[in-house]
Amino acid sequence: MTRQMSGAKMVVQALRDQGVDTVFGYPGGAVLPIYDEIFLQNDIRHILVRHEQGAVHAAEGYARSTGKVGVVLVTSGPGATNAVTGLTDALMDSIPLVVLTGQVPTFMIGTDGFQEADTVGITRPCTKHNWLVKDTDALSEVIHQAFHIATAGRPGPVLIDIPKDVQFAAGAYTPPKQARLGHYQPRVKGDIEQITRLVEMIETAERPVFYTGGGVINSGPAASQLLREIVDATGFPITSTLMGLGAYPASGKSWLGMLGMHGLYEANLAMHGCDLMINIGARFDDRITGRIADFSPGSKKAHIDIDPSSINKVIHVDVPIIGDVAHVLEDVLKIWKARGRKVNRDGLEAWWAQIGQWRAKNCLAYKPSDKTIKPQYALERLEALTRGMDRYITTEVGQHQMWAAQFLGFEDPNRWMTSGGLGTMGYGLPASIGVQIAHPEALVINVAGEASWLMNMQEMGTAVQFRAPVKQFILNNERLGMVRQWQELLHGERYSHSWSESLPDFVKLAEAFGCKGICVKDPADLDDAILEMLAYDGPVIFDCLVEKHENCFPMIPSGKPHNEMLLGEAETQGAIDAKGSVLV
Amino acid sequence: MSPLKIKKGSSSHSAYDLRDPNVERLERHTLAVLVDNEAGVLARVIGLFSGRGYNIESLTVAEVDHAGHRSRITVVTTGTPAVIEQIKAQLARVVPVHEVHDLTVEGPSVERELALLKVCGTGEKRVEALRLADIFRANAVDSTLESFVFEITGTPEKIDAFADLMRPLGLQEIARTGVAALARGC
Ligand SMILES: Cc1ncc(C[n+]2csc(CCOP(=O)(O)OP(=O)(O)O)c2C)c(N)n1
Ligand SMILES: [Mg+2]
């Protein structure tokens, strides 16, 4: 029944049996036997990155845009340590990854051997689980378990450390069906009693709001579908975190826009003033809540989450529902319909009228210019010129990321890949490559800041080598814009090290990488330049020179409640005190 | 070995105290965590406590089911009620963790700790040490002409009390196992 094979062959066989078609990786001494096996087959495509961090972010982009597991293969020591930022990023944003690392042979472990690192020790706090496999007979079963744990319950990255002698030795291969997956089986069905309590609240709430997050996307397309159904059937307003954009369409009539530190005025005030908050797959992150003591003081709160540790972690909730979003929403809808589809019409009408007043503030308004390109304008034009296209967006981290979330509209889940929890500069370029590898025909754009983009710019080599026609849309303000904004508002305009001199000439850089470079600085030329980028069949570095000192509003300063939001330059004077500047 | 300066009550402080001691209403809970007995599992549990800033007052671990590869970790921790709930939820999501029991709230339980105390002295002090050991049902498990090693089992408070009495009588060293605990009844 069981087949004998080398550990290295087992790795490839197990990946194949798990349905893996793509691996992002970088070779080295401790994984050469596995690379040998990759060489000898054609089922699994290997994408050679330029840095192991890039491999992990690319796998994240692949995973987030497909709903499948992203797979990474790197060598021991520096290969593994370079992967740590990506692992932490994936853990914070609940992205399922299986990362395979080589390790020195078992008999050398602990001797400070060449390229030895305590990989399971280093990655224990930044993986959902990890293994050091010391026995070839156990290897294939561990790989199958790894895929199970990466995807079951709240998804996350897992890592398998495989010593070189384990790769060489022969052992028995266990196919996925025979693998023991262990006791790790998080519950997916929510408690019916709690769900019924939520339905009762839905029936009477005067000022309800849906507050949704990345958990809806992770739960799969059915969850987004059910979310749309319940939002449209109840007529309740809905807002989302950065991670949840696209679960409910931006064009939907109940859409309030993103909430949080740089979220929309109407979204944040609806959160502050609601009497029923229905949290679906979000986690009350500090970017969302602002000052905890003043967070939505008058509301009853329900929280649907597959991870019990997310419930009551920072905000006490009245109705905790542990389960998978799709399963729970199905039951909520079923019970709500069976009880007669009741909502508080009068209450809702007044609530929407109030929201309308907030909307009228037009909080995303900015001062237009015909001399310099405003970053907001660049994104408005990008949105207009790509609307209706089969489009995926990734971002780096900074002001541009927040503007992208504010000004681009997402109609579907899995179309928006951004580093939310960790805020990792350097995420967007490799992530865009991972997305493009998964969707070769789609339009994949990385909305970038020039500083973030430089952090992993070596990955342009990967894009060119693998003909991934990713568009790098760099909003170049020659500043670490978000840092500069904080220094302006919180640190007395002392701009300590928040600008970059000696930026590369991005057009020449594109040429050096063998792709196309476009530079634009006149607003009048912007549309043509974007169209040129879209028309080009290959990777493009788009250097969009924007206003250097634009600030991103609205903004809730750290430690402030939702209703103390800054809307524009005029309101910033003295708004942030020393206490606020202590917070991140 | 130089004599220990053990202050009264000091043993109720965590060796890994990472939190602001002035936070509201700290509660002490004894948790029993049943885990797969596999490499690294203790590091996962301890790493969780240090990484998230939780307290460990005492921790014991040993395999309890050889055939089933199961170990039992007993952790005594302190925190606000919300933090205690978080600790339990965080422990429960560690992959090799099977069960988490809060013995402090799940009904009556028994807690025992074992300690070895080395007491050096001669003459009247030596006799007094032996007399007190008898009252506390501590056994002398080793003896020289100038020293005893006493073994005592009991609640942490009982061990604290015994150690306090031994201090003026020549307490030199103390080794404590940390708490082992079980729920009462079936
Ligand atoms: C790896 C990393 N280092 C530092 C930071 C802190 N940080 C957040 S935003 C930012 C500036 C980003 O500049 P840029 O990419 O040009 O974007 P902009 O804000 O100008 O749009 C920095 C340094 C971070 N998020 N990630
Ligand atoms: Mg910048």
pLDDT tens for A17-38 read 999 999 999 999 999 999 999 9
A484 Cβ below 6 A of ligand 1: no
pLDDT band with cut points at 50, 70 and 90 for residue B22: low
Residues near A529 by Cβ (< 8 Å), separated by ≥ 6? A518, A520, A542, A544
Cβ within 8 Å of residue A255, ≥6 positions away = A238, A239, A248, A249
Report pLDDT for A560. 84
A214 contacts: CB under 8 Å, gap ≥ 6: A93, A94, A241, A243, A244, A281, A282, A420
Whole-angstrom Cα distance, residue B127 to residue A467?
87
Q: How far is the CA of A400 from the centre of ligand 2 (A)?
A: 8
φ, ψ for residue A28, nearest 5 deg: 180, 175
Q: How far is the CA of A448 from the centre of ligand 1 (A)?
A: 10
Q: What residue has token string 């994104």?
A: A379
- What is the DSSP code (8-state) at residue A210? E
Sign of CA dihedral A369, A373, A377, A382: positive
Give percent of chain A above pLDDT 70: 97
- A232 pLDDT more than 90: yes
Q: Which residues face A6 on adjacent strands?
A: A170
When comparing pLDDT for A579 and A25, which is higher?
A25
Q: Among A129, A182, A309, whose Cβ lies nearest the Cβ of B90?
A: A309
Atom 4 (ligand 1) nearest CA: A425
Q: Look at residue A129 and tell me whether its pLDDT is greater than 80.
A: yes
The pLDDT assigned to B74 comes to: 98
Residue A221: φ, ψ to 5°: -60, -30
Mean per-residue pLDDT over chain A, rounded: 96
Measure CA of the first residue to CA of the last residue in chain A; give whole Å: 57
CA–CA distances in Å: residue B84 to residues B31, B72, B180: 10, 19, 19
Nearest protein CA to atom 2 of ligand 1, as residue: A425
* Pairing of β B70-79 and β A443-449: unpaired
> Are residues A69 and A63 in contact, defined by beta-carbon separation less than 8 angstroms?
yes
Nearest to B47 among A125, A182, A309 (CB): A125
| Six token digits for residue A498 | 């928040």
- Distance in angstroms (rounded) separating the CA atoms of residues A451 and A274: 39
Q: Residue B6: its pLDDT value, please? A: 44
Residue A417 in this model has a pLDDT that exceeds 80: yes
Over the stretch A312-361, which tens digit does the pLDDT of each residue have? 999 999 999 999 999 999 999 999 999 999 999 999 999 999 999 999 99
> A257: phi > 0 → left, psi -120 to 50 → alpha, else beta; which?
left
Q: Which residues pair with B147 in a beta bridge?
A: B120
The count of CB pairs under 8 A between chains A and B is: 35
State whether the Cα torsion A375-A380-A385-A390 is positive or negative: positive
Q: Answer whether A373's CB lies under 8 Å from A523's CB.
A: yes
Please identify, by atom number, the ligand 1 atom nearest to the C-alpha of residue A375: 21
* Contact: B95, A129; criterion CB under 8 Å: yes
Q: Which of helix, strand or coil describes residue A257?
A: strand
Ligand 2 center to residue A446 CA distance, Å? 14
CA angle, residues A287, A391, A477, in degrees to nearest 5: 55
For the segment B3-27, the average pLDDT, to the nearest whole number, is: 51
Show residues of chain B in contact with A150, CB under 8 Å.
none
A311–B89 C-beta distance less than 8 A = yes
**Joined tokens for residue A12:** 């490839």
Helices (H) and strands (E) in chain B, counts: 4, 8
**DSSP symbol at A425:** T
Tokens of A432: 């865009």
Is residue A53 within 8 A of residue A81, CB to CB? The reply is no
Q: Whose CA is nearest to atom 18 of ligand 1?
A: A481
The reply to whether residue B40 touches residue A124, judged by beta carbons under 8 angstroms, is: yes
Residue nearest atom 3 in ligand 1 by C-alpha distance: A425
Q: Does the beta carbon of A450 lie inside 6 Å of ligand 1? A: yes
* Stretch B91-104: mean pLDDT: 97
Mean predicted confidence (pLDDT) in A278-305: 94
Is A312 in Cβ contact with B90 (below 8 Å)?
A: no
Please answer yes or no on whether A308 and B92 come within 8 Å at the CB atom.
Answer: yes
CB-CB neighbors (< 8 A) of A308 in chain B: 89, 92-93
Helix, strand or coil, per DSSP, at residue A268: helix
pLDDT at A555: 94
Position A583 scores a pLDDT of: 73
A504 CA to centre of ligand 2 in angstroms? 13
Q: How many CB atoms lie within 10 A of CB A194?
A: 19
Residues A527-576 have pLDDT tens digits of 999 999 999 999 999 999 999 999 999 999 888 888 888 988 766 655 56
Q: Return d(Cα A345, Cα B111) in angstroms, integer.
A: 57
The tokens for A546 are 């924007």
Q: Which residue of B has its CA nearest to A129?
A: B95
Burial of A497 from C-beta contacts in 10 A (0-12 / 13-18 / 19+): exposed
Provide φ and ψ at A21, rounded to 5°.
-110, -15
- DSSP string of A357-371, one letter each residue: HHHTT-TT-----SS
Whether A1 has a pLDDT exceeding 80, the answer reads: no
The number of residues in chain A equals: 584
| pLDDT band of B28, cuts 50, 70, 90 | very high
Q: Which chain B residues are within 8 Å of A121, Cβ to Cβ? A: 43
Could you tell me which residues come within 8 angstroms of residue A486 by beta carbon, excluding any fewer than 6 positions away?
A: none
Closest C-alpha to A10, from A154, A233, A169, A222 = A169
> In sequence order, what are the residues at sequence separation of 6 or more whose Cβ sits closer than 8 angstroms to the Cβ of residue B41?
B35, B71, B96
- pLDDT, tens digit, for every residue of A34-74? 999 999 999 999 999 999 999 999 999 999 999 999 999 99
The enclosing H or E element of A10 equals: helix A7-17
Report the alpha-carbon distance of residue A361 to residue A238 in Å, rounded: 18
The rounded percent of chain A whose pLDDT value lies above 90 is 93
Helix (H, G, I), strand (E, B) or coil at A61: helix
Q: Please tell me which residue of chain B has the smallest CA distance to A183.
A: B98
Cβ(A522)–Cβ(A530) under 8 Å? Answer: no
Beta carbons of B47 and A129 less than 8 Å apart: no
Confidence of residue A577 (pLDDT cuts 50, 70, 90): low
The residues facing A250 across adjacent strands are none
Q: Order of strands across the sheet with A540-545? A: A416-417, A391-395, A443-449, A471-476, A540-545, A516-520
pLDDT of residue B12: 39
- Residue-wise pLDDT tens digits, A429-464: 999 999 999 999 999 999 999 999 999 999 999 999
Which residues sit opposite A161 in a β-bridge?
A101, A132
CB A262 within 8 A of CB A406: yes
Check pLDDT > 70 for residue B9.
no
CB atoms within 10 A of CB A298: 11
Q: Is the separation of the CB atoms in B40 and B88 below 8 Å?
A: no
Dihedral sign for Cα atoms in the order A550, A246, A210, B94: negative
Comparison of pLDDT for A571 and A94, the residue scoring more? A94
pTM for the full predicted model: 0.94
pLDDT at A109 over 50: yes
Phi, psi of B117 (to 5 degrees): -125, 130
Q: In this structure, what token pair is assigned to residue A68? A: 């499948």
Pinpoint the alpha helices (H) of A417-536: 428-438, 450-455, 460-465, 481-490, 506-513, 526-535
A184, A148 contact by CB (below 8 A):
yes
